[in-house]
Amino acid sequence: FNVVTGEARKIVGAMCADARVRAMSFTGSTEVGRLIAAQSASTMKRLVMELGGHAPLIVFDDADIDRAVTIALDAKFATSGQDCLAANRIYVQRPVYERFCAAFARRIDGLKTGNGLSGDADIGPLMHERAVQKVEEQVADALAHGARCLGGGGRHAAGPLFYQPTLLVDVPDEALIMREETFGPVAAVTPFDDEAEVVVRANATEYGLVAYVVTENGARQARMGRALDYGMVAINRVKITGAPIPFGGVKQSGIGREGSRHGLEAFTDLKYLCLDVA
């Protein structure tokens, strides 16, 4: 196991250009993944990429609301929202929309922001100033598009890189936060009316890493699993990772899979041997 440290652009560029490196695995942004793929074209490398996400979380009106809120809280605010698996767009069916939003706001209000090393903090700092500025831009844009803020909405007194856990509701699809990955502790919630509508809205993105569905209807669970254009679909749960799992996405969220036998196959070549025994 070897770790190479230094200027990433130079190091990765050398790896991409060297034909002795036959395969590369990368986890990071879609933007950087595209650059690596372009630089690897001349050597025809095998690539496995786990890239950006823009996960929808869909709550149907037959869901247990307390359970749905817990799932939404975990899917959105783990690692302060700085996760490619984070739920970016939360769609809630209209008959339970107001009840969900009120319960979600109460749970978010109970999250504690502070130093992650203290042991009792739920929300820690963002990775750098640019990340905080991106969150601020998305929140301001959503409010300008008519969204309402039910909690948070600004930087936290804990420090310059801390942002309050925030709940935005009535967020229209045109808002930036519904079109770009957030990577911060801001939940964007919007209502929907029927299954066909929400499938179209959830799939209307270049990303396709993971989608979350909360429903007690078994037939709907199967339909949504097929209809959602994502590499992974989590139904009534949040945690989906692990060594046996073929982790990965479709569209601009990646190439290939990590984990399981499918992850191993990405680093093997298929050889065909035809033998004449006559």
Residue 84: active-site member: yes
Q: What is the pTM of this model?
A: 0.94
Give pLDDT, residue 185: 98
Percent composition of the chain: helix, strand, coil (DSSP 3-state, to 5):
40, 20, 40
Choosing from 7, 16, 31, 84, the catalytic residue is 84
Hey, where are the domains in the chain?
8-50, 55-235
Q: Does residue 43 contact residue 27 with C-beta atoms inside 8 Å? A: no
Give pLDDT, residue 266: 84
Choosing from 16, 50, 101, 258, the catalytic residue is 50
Give pLDDT, residue 215: 98
Residue 50: active-site member: yes
In this structure, how many other beta carbons lie within 10 angstroms of the beta carbon of residue 98? Answer: 12
Distances (CA, A) of 90 to 57, 140, 162: 5, 18, 23
Q: How far apart are CA 170 and CA 129, in angstroms?
A: 28
Give pLDDT, residue 4: 92
Q: What pLDDT tens digit does each residue of the chain (278 aa) get? A: 899 999 999 999 999 999 999 999 999 999 999 999 999 999 999 999 999 999 999 999 999 999 999 999 999 999 999 999 999 999 999 999 999 999 999 999 999 999 988 888 999 999 999 999 999 999 999 999 999 999 999 999 999 999 999 999 999 999 999 999 999 999 999 999 999 999 999 999 999 999 999 999 999 999 999 999 999 999 999 999 999 999 999 999 999 999 999 999 989 999 999 999 98
Q: Angle at CA 165, nearest 5°, toward 164 and 168?
A: 110
Distances (CA, A) of 215 to 17, 175, 211, 232, 244: 48, 26, 13, 17, 25
CATH class of the domain defined by 55-235: alpha beta
Tell me if residue 167 falls in helix, strand or coil: strand
Q: How far apart are CA 105 and CA 216, in angstroms?
A: 23
